[in-house]
């Protein structure tokens, strides 16, 4: 497991060791041995699968492409996690993301374990036919370890419902006569996917922020008013006033979160900046997110990057470098791009007092320490971006029962589940000085540790 997740898990175990109410039957030497077992189990994956996919590309050449499927832990249920197509994919990255999925599912009480997949390609440089072959080969190479009750992949960066449809079809061909609808989630609706799945992560990211800054603070204001907790003070300082929001990343997660912020009637939001792989667009008076979405839909997801394109859209914005979105003087920064965007070398330039992690691990451990010391609220990935796996669970259930929910039902169930998690975490966060990330990890590790103990896996 990469150092950031592993270190925070160890911190959680250290805190739980001194909690006499946690696993009270374990005392003295037996307790020490059990916690050593927990550290070993949670710090390593159960299985690491690696293959080199043999693909004949359009020019007739044969290439070998590295691919991974990491199965971290299945204590709570079948492995679950996306498949990422990106040139930065590595075994260490995928292992870390699989561990994060284990903890995320435990935190939100989704009955899945943690898994993750990756293929080392830039999907933009491959034709549709080549991507189809890559998807087929991925399923062929890993078919023995995938399945509705074993390991259930979903989309991630660089993949979407098209790729999941292709993969499910290949799984069906390899396993004739066996249940197949639950083998992959994030599929198109016509192929058994769930309504609302594509938007689920982005909607959940914005909901986590909105619920904290509006619903929770509104209900708990009298209790919080006298607190000296720096995170409480940051939250109260930004309640009931206009908020400027910047969004890094304009893909499935960032674009949906930006639209949710733009449309929100609970908070007085103004989306002043968005960015993609090429550019940051900034207007302190606010951007028209719907117009930018229409443009991106027609240009392979890219934002307008020239003055001429902005004029044609009748959008006023400054064109800045793609990383400048991180350093703008805004109230809220939503990180919905890649890992390690805020790190030790740039953290001092980050001004936003509230950060929401729509991507996985966009703030490094070193940067997290610096921001936390400043009183910055960081709504972590484990809490904020779970919408995708929650609705994937709903899709998996629908596939097993062949009964399908409406889009409104899906969103209501998503918000209800996230609200339950937030209500279990936020009182502790605002009641003590621990960062929100650590509170979430403590909760998840406690759930996993209890299950491992009950299942007799600590001996």
Cα separations in angstroms, 209 against 26, 106, 392, 421 = 38, 20, 21, 13
* Same domain membership, residue 320 and residue 289: yes
pLDDT at 2 over 80: no
User: pLDDT: is 122 or 219 the higher one?
Assistant: 122
Q: How many residues does the chain have?
A: 459
pLDDT at 63 over 90: yes
* Same domain membership, residue 212 and residue 152: no
* Same domain membership, residue 268 and residue 123: no
pLDDT at 56 over 50: yes
Q: How confident is the model at residue 231 (pLDDT cuts 50, 70, 90)?
A: confident
Q: What is the mean pLDDT of residues 253-281?
A: 95
| pTM exceeds 0.75 for this model | yes
Q: What is the pLDDT of residues 336-361, one digit of tens each?
A: 998 899 999 999 999 999 999 999 88
Whether 208 and 388 have beta carbons less than 8 Å apart is answered as no
Rounded CA Rg of the chain: 22
Question: End of a domain among 141, 166, 193?
Answer: 193
Identify the weakest region by mean pLDDT among 6-15, 40-49, 406-415: 6-15
* Same domain membership, residue 209 and residue 167: no
pLDDT at 26: 85
To the nearest whole number, what is the mean pLDDT of the chain? Answer: 93
Q: What percent of the chain has pLDDT over 70?
A: 99
* Same domain membership, residue 217 and residue 360: yes
* Same domain membership, residue 226 and residue 108: no
Q: What is the pLDDT of residues 114-151, one digit of tens each?
A: 999 999 999 999 999 999 999 999 999 999 999 999 99
Asked if residue 159 is part of any domain, the answer here is: yes
pLDDT at 218: 86
The domain spanning residue 157 has which CATH number?
A: 3.40.50.10860
Q: How confident is the model at residue 4 (pLDDT cuts 50, 70, 90)?
A: low
Residues 320, 360, 239: CA angle, nearest 5 degrees: 70
The domain spanning residue 440 has which CATH number?
A: 3.40.50.720
Identify the weakest region by mean pLDDT among 31-45, 185-199, 343-357, 430-444: 430-444
pLDDT at 199: 93
* Same domain membership, residue 378 and residue 287: yes
**What are the percentages of helix, strand and coil residues in the chain, rounded to 5?**
50, 15, 35
Asked if residue 149 is part of any domain, the answer here is: yes
| Structural domains in the chain (count) | 2
pLDDT at 3: 56
Q: What is the pLDDT of residues 271-306, one digit of tens each?
A: 999 999 999 999 999 999 999 999 999 998 899 999
* Same domain membership, residue 223 and residue 96: no
Residue 429 belongs to what H/E stretch? helix 407-431
Which of the 8 DSSP states describes residue 23? Answer: S
Q: How confident is the model at residue 255 (pLDDT cuts 50, 70, 90)?
A: very high
pLDDT at 315: 92
Q: What percent of the chain has pLDDT over 90?
A: 78
Nearest residue to 397 via CA among 115, 185, 150: 185
How far is Cα 230 from Cα 25, in angstroms, rounded to an integer?
36
Asked if residue 145 is part of any domain, the answer here is: yes
Asked if residue 62 is part of any domain, the answer here is: yes
pLDDT at 445: 95
Asked if residue 392 is part of any domain, the answer here is: no
According to DSSP, the residues that pair with 55 across neighbouring strands are 63
Asked if residue 12 is part of any domain, the answer here is: no
Catalytic residues, by residue number, are 116
Question: End of a domain among 139, 161, 193?
Answer: 193
Question: End of a domain among 173, 193, 213?
Answer: 193
pLDDT at 20: 83
Asked if residue 409 is part of any domain, the answer here is: no
Domain that includes residue 152, residue range: 48-193
* Same domain membership, residue 217 and residue 99: no
Q: How confident is the model at residue 1 (pLDDT cuts 50, 70, 90)?
A: very low
* Same domain membership, residue 207 and residue 168: no
* Same domain membership, residue 221 and residue 166: no
pLDDT at 159 over 90: yes
* Same domain membership, residue 208 and residue 78: no
């Amino acid at each position: 497991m990469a150092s950031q997740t592993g270190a925070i898990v160890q911190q959680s175990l250290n805190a739980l060791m001194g909690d006499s109410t946690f696993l009270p039957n374990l005392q003295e030497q037996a307790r020490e041995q059990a916690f050593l077992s927990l550290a070993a189990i949670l710090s390593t994956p159960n299985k690491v699968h690696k293959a080199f996919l043999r693909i004949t590309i359009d020019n007739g050449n044969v290439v070998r492409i590295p691919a991974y499927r990491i199965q971290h832990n299945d204590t709570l249920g079948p492995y679950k996690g996306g498949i990422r197509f990106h040139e930065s994919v590595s075994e260490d990255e995928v292992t870390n993301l699989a561990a994060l999925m284990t903890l995320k599912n435990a935190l939100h009480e989704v009955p899945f374990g943690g898994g993750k997949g990756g293929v080392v390609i830039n999907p933009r440089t491959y034709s549709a036919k080549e991507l189809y072959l890559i998807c087929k080969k991925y399923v062929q190479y890993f078919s023995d370890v995938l399945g509705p009750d074993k390991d259930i992949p979903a989309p991630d960066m660089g993949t979407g419902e098209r790729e999941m449809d292709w993969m499910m079809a290949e799984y069906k061909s390899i396993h004739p006569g066996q249940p197949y609808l639950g083998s992959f989630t994030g599929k198109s609706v016509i192929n058994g996917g769930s309504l609302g799945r594509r938007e689920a992560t982005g909607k959940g990211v914005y909901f986590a922020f909105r619920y904290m800054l509006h619903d929770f603070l509104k209900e708990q204001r009298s209790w919080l008013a006298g607190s000296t907790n720096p995170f409480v003070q940051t939250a109260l300082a930004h309640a009931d006033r206009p908020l400027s929001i910047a969004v890094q990343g304009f893909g499935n997660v960032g674009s949906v979160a930006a639209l949710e912020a733009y449309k929100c009637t609970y908070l007085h939001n103004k989306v002043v900046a968005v960015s993609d792989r090429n550019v940051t667009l900034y207007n302190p008076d606010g951007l028209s997110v719907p117009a930018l979405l229409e443009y991106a839909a027609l240009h392979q997801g890219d934002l307008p990057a020239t003055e001429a394109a902005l004029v044609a859209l009748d959008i006023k914005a400054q064109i800045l470098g793609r990383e400048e979105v991180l350093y703008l003087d805004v109230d809220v920064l939503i990180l919905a791009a890649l890992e390690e965007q805020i790190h030790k070398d740039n953290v001092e330039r980050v001004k936003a007092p509230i950060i929401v992690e729509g991507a996985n691990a966009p703030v490094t451990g070193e940067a997290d320490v610096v921001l936390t010391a400043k009183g910055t609220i960081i709504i972590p990935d484990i809490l904020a971006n779970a919408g995708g796996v929650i609705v994937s669970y709903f899709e998996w259930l629908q596939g097993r029962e062949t009964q399908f929910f409406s889009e409104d039902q899906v969103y209501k169930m998503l918000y209800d589940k996230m609200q339950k998690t937030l209500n279990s975490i936020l009182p502790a966060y605002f009641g003590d000085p621990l960062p929100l990330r650590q509170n979430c990890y403590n909760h998840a590790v406690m759930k996993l540790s209890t299950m491992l103990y009950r299942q007799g896996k600590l001996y």
